[in-house]
Structure 1
C-alpha cells in the first residue's frame, strides 16, 4: 500500500496522513483530523481489493461510505481518524483452520490480530477456580471487557458497575438464576460507489461486542 503513489502526503503536515500498522488493520491519522483528507482517503481505500471495513471517528464528521467508530468502541480521544480492517474470508489454511486475511507484516499461515474477521474475534476464554461452574460451556456473547468486572465480583469488590463489560454470571457457581442471557444483534451498513461494507455487533445489556466487519459484494 503506497499512500504517496495515490497522491497523499505521508507526514504530519496539512493534508498529510500518518498510517500505523495494527496487524490485520491499519489506523490512519490526518493532520488536525481534516475531514476532506479523510473523505478522500476513505474513497481511495474503498476502491482497493484488500479493503475490508472502514470506520471513522466522530471528530471528522460524517464520511460517506464509512461506519462510525463508536460502533466498534474505538472512538476514543487517542483513537484513529479512520480505521481500516483488511478484507478477509473463510479460506482454510494448511493446518485446517479457517480464516484468511492480508496483514501489515507477519508470516503467512500464522495467527493474526487487530482486524475484524470473525475468525479473529470469536475466540475462547478458559476459566478455572472455585468460583466457576465445573465443566460448563458458555456460548453467550463475551469479551475481554468482561474479565475485570467478573474478577471484582468474585472478590466482592466494587468498581465493576461503571465498566463497559459485565459480570459473567452464567459462568459462576451459585449464579444459575442469571444463566439465561438475552442478547441483541445489529448489522450496520455503509456504501460509496461500488464499495459496500457491513459491521455486526451484539449487545448484552449495556455491553457491546464486535462480531465481525468486512466489505461485501453484490
Structure 2
C-alpha cells in the first residue's frame, strides 16, 4: 500500500516511515509543507495519506486545508489526520469536506504508539471507512445537545464505536450483544436523527456528522 505523509517534524516523520515500512507499507514520499504534499499526491497517487493538522508556515490548520484540497482534486482520496490535541472544528471540517466521511480518519498522535490500533485505523481509512480517535469521540459525545440528548446509554455506546469506524460485527463483539441488537440500536439512532436515506453507509456518516455539528 503506497502512502504519502505530510509531516514537518523530522523525528516523527522518520518514526512513521520506519513503522510503516517494517509493517509492509510503502512510504512513497514525506512532505514538510502543503505545496510539497499536494505535489507528492499528484506524483505518486497514494492509496492513503497521513497528514499532520499543523504545517508550515503558520502551524494552525494548513494540514486540514491541504487534505481538503487534495480530496477536492482527487475525490475520495483517503486521508488520516494526526493531531496533538482534540480539535473539534478540524474533525468536523474534514468530515464535512468533499466526499463526506468516506475514507477519512482523525487520530491523536499518541495513538501511533498503539501500533496495532494505529495500523487498523489506517487500513480502515484506506478501504474507504472512517476512524475517529476514541478521545475525540468521547469529548464530542459529552456535549449532549438535541438530538443527541434523546439517545439511551447503549445507543451512545453504539454511536461512539460507529464514529470510530467499526462495523456491526465488531460493535456486537465489543459490547457483548447480538448482531440483531446492534441493528436495532443503529436503527433507533437513525430514527432519532431523522436519517431516512436508504443507503446505510451514508446514514452512518450522517450520524457522525450530526453530533459533530452539535459541538
TM-score (norm: length of structure 1): 0.31
Question: In proportion to residue count, which structure has more strand?
Answer: 1
Tell me: higher relative CO, structure 1 or 2? Use CA pairs within 8 A at least 6 residues apart.
1
TM-score (norm: length of structure 2): 0.32
Q: Which has the larger radius of gyration?
A: 1
Question: In proportion to residue count, which structure has more helix?
Answer: 2
